[in-house]
Amino acid sequence: MTEETTEWLYLLGEDARIVGISGYTVRPPRARQEKPRVSAFTSAKIDRILELEPDCVFGFSDLQADIAAELVRRGVQVTIFNQRSVEQVFSMLYQVAAMVGRAERGLELLQGMRERLEAIRTAAAALPRRPRVFFEEWDDPLISGIRWVSELLDIAGGDDCFPELAAQPLGKDRILADPGEVVRRNPDIVIGSWCGKKFRPERVAARPGWEQVAAVRDGQLFEIKSADILQPGPAALTDGVEQLHRIVMDWSRAHA
């Protein structure tokens, strides 16, 4: 019922174990052609899942608690992960690998990811100046980035404009009641990842008062697809952080 475990099982070479996936799954692309879609994010086809006779169902976060409870009542083993930090993502991935008997292979893959993150961190440490970054998870209402995004941004060389909100696990607790606060914090870069819809930089630039923001003035408005950064699994630890780092490094070269 969650994207990241599907991607991870494919990477582990254990995709034959998967009998059904989330309809939001896009990584790897072949999963959508090979596996039946049995859930959204806050809803699921319970009868269809039962027909597949799974030995275990994987889910993510408190938002899937009601689905999990119904499956448990119907006799299904359910594992719900609730990772919010980078280290919690690593822990979740290791647990899944161990559950399918691929702990050693999982550790190999995870070590490669850790080494790349350290290489990125080292490169970022040499920057003469770190840009201030506003990561926009949603536009109406305005929601700032979740914890793992903030941590990956730090590794990539940027400073989160709203680090105090990143610690909040729920989106409703990361809502910016006053969009003017973004103007006051004046980010050098704005990165949008509007889950389920395309980021529209022209709409961001047209917000009242935002013409004063450095990112708007300098045309530093970027999109990272939600599948690459808001999926707390392999995607965020690889493609997501790479895109963050590329944006930060390009900004740094332009402002050297």
| Rounded-to-integer distance, Cα 251 and Cα 256, Å | 9
Q: DSSP character for 85?
A: S
pLDDT of amino acid 33: 96
Please list the residues that pair with 191 across neighbouring strands.
135, 222
Q: DSSP character for 131?
A: P
| Non-local CB neighbours of 116 within 8 Å, separated by 6+ positions | 238
| Rounded-to-integer distance, Cα 85 and Cα 108, Å | 20
pLDDT of amino acid 10: 98
Q: Among residues 16, 51, 50, which one has the least CA distance to residue 34?
A: 16
Q: Among residues 45, 55, 102, which one has the least CA distance to residue 75?
A: 55
Structure tokens at 244: 């963050």
* Half-sphere CA count of 158, side-chain side, radius 13 A: 32
Q: Residue 221 CA to chain centroid, in angstroms?
A: 19
Q: Are 20 and 38 in contact (CB under 8 A)?
A: yes
Strand (E) or helix (H) holding 222: strand 221-223
| Rounded-to-integer distance, Cα 91 and Cα 114, Å | 12
pLDDT of amino acid 32: 95
Give pTM, 2 decimals.
0.95
pLDDT of amino acid 216: 98
Strand (E) or helix (H) holding 58: strand 57-60
| Rounded-to-integer distance, Cα 44 and Cα 47, Å | 9
Rounded average pLDDT per 10-residue block, the chain, 256 residues:
97 98 95 96 95 97 95 97 97 98 98 98 96 96 97 98 94 93 97 92 95 97 96 98 98 90
